[in-house]
Structures are given as structure tokens and as C-alpha cells.
Chain A
């Protein structure tokens, strides 16, 4: 069986779904960040595959930018996470409910 574009796309979609589920289910901030990384990276796979399919570099370029942005997101995210942990001693989502209604 030859691996075609559709397989990549399906993989990408599955990963995206996993990411989504992770985003919804995780209560730990760190794991939540991982889930968002999965989301972005699933898209990268698809971009690379499509790029290859079209023989066009734009997709790969997009993927690079996504990687870069994902990296900076992690930087900012971890920064916030650390501050939060310093102040509260945990990184549990359930404790972040001081504002509501």
C-alpha cells in the first residue's frame, strides 16, 4: 500500500482530534499546553504533505512559521505557568476560578 496524501490528511485530522480531546480533558496546565502543541503539529504534518502534493513550497513555509510560533507560545506559556506555580504552588486548572459569572 502506498502512503498517499489522504493518509497524511487523515493522520493530521486524527492528531488534531486527539489534541482537541486533550484540550478538553486535561486539568493540568502543562498537559494542556502539550495538547495545544499536538494541535499545531498535526497541522504541520498536513501542510508538509499538501506542500509536497502540490509541489509548492508555501505549505512548508507555513509549517515553519507554525513551528516558530508554537515555540514562542511555549515560551510565553511556560513563563505564565511558572509564575502561577510560584504563586499558588499548583498548576491545576480547577483552582483558576476566581472570576466567574
Chain B
């Protein structure tokens, strides 16, 4: 089995390096095909591992080699395939295989075709390390690795200012969180003496709650950055500057869920500190609604989906924070499928619309893009959580968790957000695919994407539809390592009322969206309507002014302070002091050199003066000795 583990892990790396060989040369199809194939192999290997894990119920643990060892610190490259990581591996390899194949078509005309695949496969490799590592340091490798690849892929079109800016923003913001993560790791090491999950978690119950709390908080700060939780969320929306497959893979299905994975992985720790868990859940609920609200009014197709991702991550954190780790992981998986599907669909639309992103400028595309239309609609249904698609099973479960644990505020927030989700999802679908064909005004001739791209997407569609059915199998599998709490509402009636109520609420929201954006006439907004002038709209449209706040109160002061430090402090103070001392010495010489006037008379006077001075000193001293007895 170890062989399959290594195949699963390293196949993407080989693919990446292979593509990187061609990075500087013009487009070669093979640079896309080979990594895709290798990823497929990785997927197969993961599947075999999954089968193994399912069969035996055990985990595979390997230690490849030592990474760092000094003092008491010992960090190996160790990998573990257990129920949790194999789930993630499946999600990662599957979605990325799909995305790779899709990208062969999507990036068809791009100059950086080869480079794209190098980065993309490298990303998958990092993600695999992240999920498979058996220790915190290894996790951190993957953690930073995905950050790097995300930087490279967001800034893939590096000639675009906005893209590179977004890439740097994403990297730096992630780094802020990574510091938290790093400190968390230090805390783990100095308190447990090891960074291996197993051993560290084994020691933790004996530790002080305060220390554990700090540990939990710092590790979660790391998770907040990767999973773009408030207040470190702004990078995710900006990350949409990258090519759409990237958004699908990284910013929807995999990387952003790393934070959730971390919390799930560290469940023995978070079980010990329910207060932190509650905080995580509350933040998750807040983010769920917060992000959904921004999605309501946004006019950028990809950003809407990105906010939706953010919102769904909030859901996952609610589940994870409340101790329902398997639920979180289940939603993570389901979400990966339909969200990736949604993004890839959006990619098709973008291609068709020549990179136009404003859904108000589209409309009626269902006629020309049937396949995409079907897929995106179904994905949206899944996202909205309608029976019997994946979202229904996973998302409603989170609502139940909140309810069962008596966190009613969280529950209501999530419920309300479910409505918002349905609304904005179908607002998007309606604007893109229904109504008038507004794009004609702009002289665009849309066309459906390549067949094989649609075929590539189909596994995701399938899973988005059926994933819910795997719930119980899944439950049995992962609870081998995660707390096996089932969340049943005690009264059957309450359960049915809640479920049906939620469904009705969601359907109502969808209907409202259709009524507003599909059935009535839609104009391209120009800022003149009453709604656009309202405060709420502006607030939401400007993302609560948070990016502006960051720009004005962090970025700008930092820039100005840097400049001041350089010009005022370094040059005018520190360096000037050094030079000042040197100049002082030099100028002393310059100012006193006239003592050497060259005039013999003066020279003689100096001599006599020196003697006289000495004489007076002598007299003073002699008097002192005589009369004071010094």
C-alpha cells in the first residue's frame, strides 16, 4: 500500500516538473496531457487507498525520511493515510483531475499554457502534502506550498496589474495567518515535545487549559487565513483575478478548505477547548451571513461564487467548531464538488462571453450553452441545498447540528443565510441564462465550450447530485478517527417541520430571484436606480468598505511609515549620527589646524604657554598637597 501512497503523493509533482520543463517554450499539448494523466493516476492510487482504508478500517503510516532533527526536535517527512486524509485526497485528486482536463481546453489559447500546468500540478502536490502529513511541520509545508502556488496562479496573467496585486495580497494575507499557525506549532512543540499529531494529541489532555486555548487560537488563526475567514477574507474575492480553473480548484474546492481540515485534524485539541470551538462556530456563522450578503449585490460572476464559497466555509467552521467534525468534512467534500462545478461552468460562460464577468451584460445564454446551463443550474440547486442534491444532505446537517446543540442564534443565522444563498445563486443563474439576450448589445457571439470540457465536468455533476447518498457510508468510515456523534433531532415532528420549512424557505428565495431577474426586464445597472443609491446596497457593494479600510489604515500607513523609516530615520537619524561623529572629528581638525599657523613666534608662544600651564598646575597641586594634605 505504501507504494500507492507514494504514487498518490508524487505523481502530481512529477507532472508539475514535467510541465515546468516546457515552461519557457510555446504551448505544447503534452505539457497539459501528461500532468492530467499523472493526476488521474494519483486519483486511482487514492481510490485504492480509500478502498484499503474502507476495508481494513486502519490507517497507513509511513516515514519517508528525516527532515529536521536537532536538540529534542525531530521532524520527519511522515505521511498518514487515514479516514480523514483519504477523504481529502479523494476530493483533491478528483477535483484536480477534472480541473486539469478542463484546463486543457480552457487555457487552449493562452501563451502560458505549459506554465499553467506546472503551477497547477504543483498546487495539487502541496495540497497532498498538506492533507497527508502526519505532523504539524509537514502540514505547514503544504500550507505554505499551496500559498505559493496560489500566488503563482492568481498572478498567472502577470502583465495585469490587478492580478499581480491580488496575488501579492493573497500571499501576504495568508502569511499573516501563517504566523499564527507558526506560533501555534511552537506552542505545540514546547508543550508536548513533538510535532507528530499522534503523540502531541496524546499529551494534550494532560496540559493546562490555558495553554491549550492559546494553542487552539493560534492554530485557528492559521486556518482563518487559508480559509479566508473574517477579517482575513478580502484576498479571496480578489483572487478571482486568476484563471477560472484555478478559482475552481484552489479557491473553491481545496485550498480554502485547508483551514477546515486543520480544525478537523486537530479535533482532539479542539474537543478539549469547547470555548474556542464556540468562537470558531460563531465566527463561521457570522462569515456565512456576512459573505452571503456581499454576494447579493455583486456584479462580478466569479466574485459572487467566491463569496458563496466564503459563506459555505463559514458553514463548515460552524460544524467544526461545534465538534461535528465529520459533518464539516462531509460538507467540505460535497461543497467541493458543486462549487468546482459552478466555477467551471462560470469559466465556460466567461469564455463564451470573451471574459466578460458582469452577469447583467449576459442573459438568455441557455439557448446557446445548454450543457453549461444544466450543469450550473444543478450546481446551484445543490448549493442552495434542495433535496435530493448533495447540498441538502450536508448543509441541512449543519443546521441540525446547531439546533441540536441549542445554539439557536447560530441556527437562525445559518437558516437565514440558506435563503440568501438560494437567492444569490439563482440571481446569478437567472441573469446569465434567462431573460433577454443583453449581450447582443455588446456585439458578442457566445458559443458552447469544447465537448471534452463538458465531459470532464460531468463527474463533478454526478457527484454533486449523488454525494448525499453516501452520507451514511461516509459517516461510518470517518468516525473511525473522528468523534462519532450523530445529530438527531429528538422529535420526529420537529425534524420534519424544520426540514420542510427550510426547503420551502429556500424555494421561496429561488422563486423571488427568478421573478426579479428572469421574468421581469433587467437593465444593465448604471447607478441610477433607487436601490443602487441606498446605503445598504452601497455598503454591500463595497464589501462593507473593508478593502478600503485596509488600504487606508494598513497598507497606506505601512507604505508611508516605511518611507519615513528610510528617509527620516535611517538616513537622517541613524546614518547621520554615524557620519556626524566622523564629521565632528574631521571638523575639529579643520577648525583647530590654525593652531599650526606656521609662524615661529606663535610656535614659541605655544611652548611657553604649555610650560606655564603645567607650572600653574604644579603650583595648584603643590599648594593642595601642602594645605589640604591631598
Contact = CB atoms under 8 A, between A and B. Distances in A.
Interface of A: 20, 23-24, 26-27, 93-94, 96-101
B605 A100 contact: no
Contact of B598 (A20, A24, A26, A100): A100
20 contacts: A20-B608, A24-B601, A24-B604, A24-B605, A24-B608, A26-B601, A94-B599, A94-B601, A96-B598, A96-B600, A97-B597, A97-B598, A97-B599, A98-B598, A100-B596, A100-B597, A100-B598, A101-B594, A101-B596, A101-B598
A20 B608 CA distance: 7
Interface size bucket, B side? 10 to 19
Contact of A93 (B594, B596, B601, B608): B601
A24 B598 CA distance: 15
A96 B605 CA distance: 15
A97 B599 CA distance: 5
B598 A23 contact: no
A25 to B, nearest CB: 8
A23 to B, nearest CB: 5
Contacts of B596: 100-101
A20 to B, nearest CB: 6
Contacts of A94: 599, 601
Contacts of B605: 24
A24 B604 CA distance: 6
B533 interface: no
B593 interface: yes
Interface string B591-627: 0011011111100110010000000000000000000
Given A94-B599, A98-B598, A101-B598, A23 B593 contact: no
A101 B593 contact: yes
Max chain A CB contacts within 10 Å: which of B593, B594, B596, B604?
B604
Nearest to A29: B600
A98 B599 CA distance: 9
Contact of A27 (B594, B598, B601): B601
Contacts of A93: 599-601
Contacts of A96: 598-600
A98 B594 CA distance: 14
A93 B599 CA distance: 7
A27 B602 CA distance: 10
Contacts of A23: 604, 608
A97 B603 CA distance: 11
Contacts of B600: 93, 96
A24 B594 CA distance: 18
A80 B239 CA distance: 92
A94 B25 CA distance: 84
Given A24-B608, A97-B597, A101-B593, 6 more contacts: A93-B599, A93-B601, A94-B599, A96-B598, A100-B596, A100-B599
Contacts of A20: 608
A94 B601 CA distance: 8
A96 B594 CA distance: 15
Interface string B169-181: 0000000000000
Nearest to B601: A93
Nearest to A23: B604
A19 to B, nearest CB: 10
Contacts of A24: 601, 604-605, 608
Contacts of A98: 598
Contacts of B599: 93-94, 96-97, 100
Interface in B541-597: 593-594, 596-597
A72 to B, nearest CB: 21
B22 to A, nearest CB: 72
